[in-house]
A and B are shown apart, each in its own frame.
Chain A
Amino acid sequence: MRYNLKLYTAGNAANSLRAVKNLDRFVTKYIPNNCDIEIIDILKDPHMAFDNNIIAVPALVKTAPGPSRKIIGDLSEIEKVLEGLGINPKNKKINEGI
């Protein structure tokens, strides 16, 4: 099961840029090669915020696997990102899709 993540950002806002960087680091460490990431800049595509009900930004939405989950913030606290996405760091096989 591949992870499908969407990160909603707002242009060059500092917390958005940090979120992109933090997400990249997080994916490389915990779910390498097993993840599709889409970064959506709501300033460029306002209807994406409207259609997907994005209030706080940055927002990370996991659409697969399993139930959809949302985390907000610049993703600077790894523990919370793991919890928010429902990822168990010890379960390497599942995480890396092996």
Chain B
Amino acid sequence: MKTHNKSQDFDDIKSLDKIATGIEGFEHISMGGLTEGRTTLIVGSSGSGKTMFAVEFLYRGITTFNRNGVFITFEERPREIVRNVKTLGWDLGKLVKQKRLIFLDASPEPEHVEETGSYDLSGLVVQIKHAIEKVGAKLLVMDSIGSLFDQFTNTGLIRQEIFRITDIFKDMGITAIITAERLQEYGTISRYGIEEFVSDNVIIIRNVLEEEKCRRTIQVLKVRGNTHYKGEFPFTITDSGINIIPLSAMELKQSSSTQRISFGNAKLDEMTNGGLFQDSITLASGPTGSGKTLLCATFTAEACKKGEKILLLAFEESRAQLIRNATGWNVDFQNWEKAGLLKIICHYPEAMGLEDHLLNIRRAVAEFKPRRLIMDSVSAMERVANVRLFREFVIGLTSFVKQEEICSLFTSTTPKLSGGDSITEAHISTITDAIILMRYVEINGILRRGIAVIKMRGSQHDKQVREFTIDGKGLHIGEPFKNVHNIILGIATHGGLSESEHLDEMFEH
């Protein structure tokens, strides 16, 4: 039993620290991890990934941070839990043998247990203390607590005992996770209202079916003693465990680099007043066939010539197509690939969910460590997700490449040949640092191509719409169009205005 100290001496009280869980992305959204020496309640519907989170917390805690753990299971048998994560290469059995992990099996008895008169959970309490001491545990998991209410009829007593147990954790300095079932994804936090008496820290895990796709999210509802990011963050479960995608939690650093990077085209560098910034994102937008892929090839060749690694993510064309196209412009992708400067990844947008795409990109970046990145095209992703998911994807991607200071070129295909808005642009234009528009311009029945830099954060830029041509050597930017209106905003029309009037019309000052 705990004795209450009645003295008014509070000198021994320390502020609450957080300890890392090792679960990818969790430290970021919780701003440091779980509260040390406290119990965190994780609630979620059946199949939402609670047990997975709990197991990974222990596994990472033991293997990465050398903190031993106790796993108390109220539902599944320890054997099942060990088996379930074996496919991930997590050998819990070995940790048990090494006395770094101990299971406490409190799963329901196969036979009905008769209750006669008053009882309490002293057995569980004694077992927990015993297990903690046996391995010198710092971490503990109770999964899932709801089952206790099904095993015993006196729910009032169970609440009281859970409270007693969390109090013991506090006294022993144990950082614990208790998982609890909830019946709906939104609404009451947990069955039996456990959160009200258990814990200062609550995390909600959801698995919602959205447009025929499962979407897993995690939300830090409250954490005592510190701040955390609010809102739901998507996560996936992969062969490396739980991967939380921090999205909006990522710090959006403003461009700070003054180093300029050449586009690989002298005229385009001139239009951007000296090239792109190292940590910037450029969006190239235009209808199909307007020269975006060529722009990508130009950018790629320039990077490789400078000896900088570049990652090319292609979502519209196959590898063979990309290589053939580039060869047509005298750019040898295969050669750069062999030199280890270029890595091409082709995926169909439909191949997986956006979270998984984002995760793959992050992994590829972590592995290849490119200085530049091309995504051709971002707009291809629109068709596999709803607007909200797409927005999250774009934010996640842009903030990630910014964080890594990778000079990135994204392309966006406009739905109409004459230009106009696309969803991509609506969501991405405020995030990107530079925007290059490529458009068809019809003049006197002849189709020509126009290019303009309409945004260049942190720098002056050319405000004219210039004509460009494509040949076997690549992209050639020429003189500004004269006396043509509305190239960017719609159907170009030829007018009798002088050039200065034309500019005034086109851009509001």
Contact = CB atoms under 8 A, between A and B. Distances in A.
B116 A15 contact: no
Contact of B130 (A49, A75, A76): A49
Contacts of A53: 105-106, 127
Interface in B111-137: 111, 113-124, 126-127, 129-131
B127 A46 contact: yes
A43 B126 CA distance: 7
Interface string A55-67: 1111100000001
A74 B117 contact: yes
A69 interface: yes
B152 interface: yes
Contacts of A59: 119, 123
A82 B67 CA distance: 47
B113 A71 contact: yes
A13 B122 contact: yes
A50 to B, nearest CB: 5
Nearest to B107: A53
B438 to A, nearest CB: 70
A55 B121 contact: yes
B80 interface: no
Nearest to A74: B117
B115 A72 contact: yes
Label chain B's interface by main secondary structure.
mixed
B116 A76 contact: yes
B109 interface: yes
Range of interface residues on B (Cβ < 8 Å): 20 to 34
A8 interface: yes
Interface in A73-97: 73-77, 80-81, 83-84
B104 interface: yes
Contacts of B113: 56, 70-72, 84
A10 interface: yes
Interface string B93-112: 00000000000111001010
Nearest to B115: A73
A82 B343 CA distance: 75
Interface in B149-165: 151-152
Contacts of B151: 55
Interface string B329-348: 00000000000000000000
Given A46-B130, A47-B130, A10 B115 contact: no
Given A50-B130, A53-B105, A56-B152, A84 B123 contact: no
A47 B130 CA distance: 7
A46 B129 contact: yes
Contact of A57 (B109, B115, B123, B152): B123
A18 B121 CA distance: 16
Interface of B: 104-106, 109, 111, 113-124, 126-127, 129-131, 151-152
Given A50-B104, A70-B109, 6 more contacts: A13-B120, A49-B127, A53-B106, A56-B123, A71-B113, A81-B116
Interface of A: 8, 10, 13-15, 18-19, 22, 42-43, 46-47, 49-50, 53-59, 67-77, 80-81, 83-84
5 contacts: A42-B126, A55-B127, A70-B111, A74-B119, A84-B114
